[in-house]
Structure 1
């Protein structure tokens, strides 16, 4: 019920400020990331410093999916890699989607150039990942996968230990070993 209410608020121009207070401003790290350019730049620099020419796979959770997406868009020269997002708020309009860099246009976000494959994994009860399917906004090349994390819908541990996540990681690493 809470998830439906937050989703409805995120689409309402009238309640955009209220839903922003509920979701973004209540989470200090998210608020700081979006509202403090120095914090955003430092986080982006930290992420960029971890990616090397040997990086084949990026797995990101929650706000980390925003960081990963923006960094991958900002570095089109990085080698081809696979992106796996879990519990991602990337598709939440007004609160996250509309604040992304680069700014989405016409309800469509830019595909991050270095990404050769992207799988988005969500739990139907995850209130942070209000938008379960990212393909409509980020490109039909995304594979959206649903998992069931039980009572810990947004917790990273059930996401990482889900069979679907393991299969996706194994497939990505196998693909990188067999591609020229």
Structure 2
């Protein structure tokens, strides 16, 4: 059986799975070449390594939804969304090296304090839509402040709330995927189908790291290397307490787990997962490694994949599997 590389995406709008697979593969191959693994980079494109891209974004989009719509309907998801925003803002509270003056630091602290205050309940407003309005107010506050341009993938508050709302909707575990199953169950089912076909290396990004971690526990599958990129798994207020199963630990059949984070990634709050995840029976724990990308918005998967520090270990795992094939 050929070595198999499986990608799992995170939040966002509609995706072309074929185009995404090509883009993620190209970025990873670029990183491999930078790391000196040109032979494995070539194997990605010539079919020697089987590749798959797990797509589940369509499950978040009810048929009647319009592009960019905020699709939260239940109170539980709305409250999780506000908690998520608050924890992200708390993670942004450290002074930035590019904001060296005391005046800029005071301005930054003032904006953050105002934004976090906006997450608080308003006695005169109840229900999911009121909570979504508060979330939109928070997003408007931070996206309009120049010192938070690092959140710039979200060109509008509505897009920021929509994307973060997907995390909330998954963790709420109350919504249907349109087929009678719970939304989170349907999403994990997409990942489980690919894992059933085998995965030498599983690379997951953002919300996809939560989905993949839970799927590997729910339906154990042998994975030589699990790679998590820009993961919110360590968010102690929102994500970590809601993970299933508990207490959180490395999935049983994972042979190694590398977790990569960029310190400027607003989604990777509390990125050192070894502090919060126990070992499996083989004593495998997550190993967190820092990368540094160039640009204002460092969360995209392709930026992580193009890093030689990320692509190198993936190449080494695939090379070992290729050697075993021979």
Instruction: State the TM-score bracket (shorter-chain normalisation).
Output: 0.7 to 0.9
What is the aligned counterpart of 2:188 among 41, 44, 47? Answer: 44
CA, structure 1 residues 154+164, in 2 after alignment: closer, same or farther (shift >3 Å)? same
| Deviation digits for residues 82-125 of structure 1 (CA, Å, limit 9, x no counterpart) | 10000000011021001101133xxxx22201111000000010
The answer to whether the 8 Å contact 1:152/1:158 transfers is no
2:172: which partner in 1?
35
The TM-score, its normalising length taken from structure 2, stands at 0.46
What is the aligned counterpart of 2:312 among 136, 143, 167? Answer: 167
Q: In the TM superposition, what are the counterparts of 1:64-79 in structure 2 within 5 Å?
A: 64-76=208-220, 78-79=221-222
> Quick one: distance in 2 between partners of 1:132 and 1:41?
26
Post-superposition offset of 1:33: 0.6
2:262: which partner in 1?
123
State the number of aligned residues: 167
Which is richer in strand? 1
Q: In the TM superposition, what are the counterparts of 1:19-168 in structure 2 within 5 Å?
A: 26=161, 27-37=164-174, 38-76=182-220, 78-104=221-247, 109-139=248-278, 141-150=285-294, 151-168=296-313
The answer to whether the 8 Å contact 1:82/1:115 transfers is yes
CA, structure 1 residues 44+161, in 2 after alignment: closer, same or farther (shift >3 Å)? same
2:107: which partner in 1?
none
CA, structure 1 residues 154+79, in 2 after alignment: closer, same or farther (shift >3 Å)? same
SS in 2 for 1:60: strand
Please tell me whether Structure 1 or Structure 2 has the larger radius of gyration of its CA atoms.
Answer: 2
| Deviation digits for residues 41-75 of structure 1 (CA, Å, limit 9, x no counterpart) | 00011110111353111000000000000001112
The answer to whether the 8 Å contact 1:88/1:122 transfers is yes
Post-superposition offset of 1:3: 8.1
> Quick one: distance in 1 between partners of 2:291 and 2:173?
33
Post-superposition offset of 1:175: 3.3
Gaps of 5+ in 1: 10-14
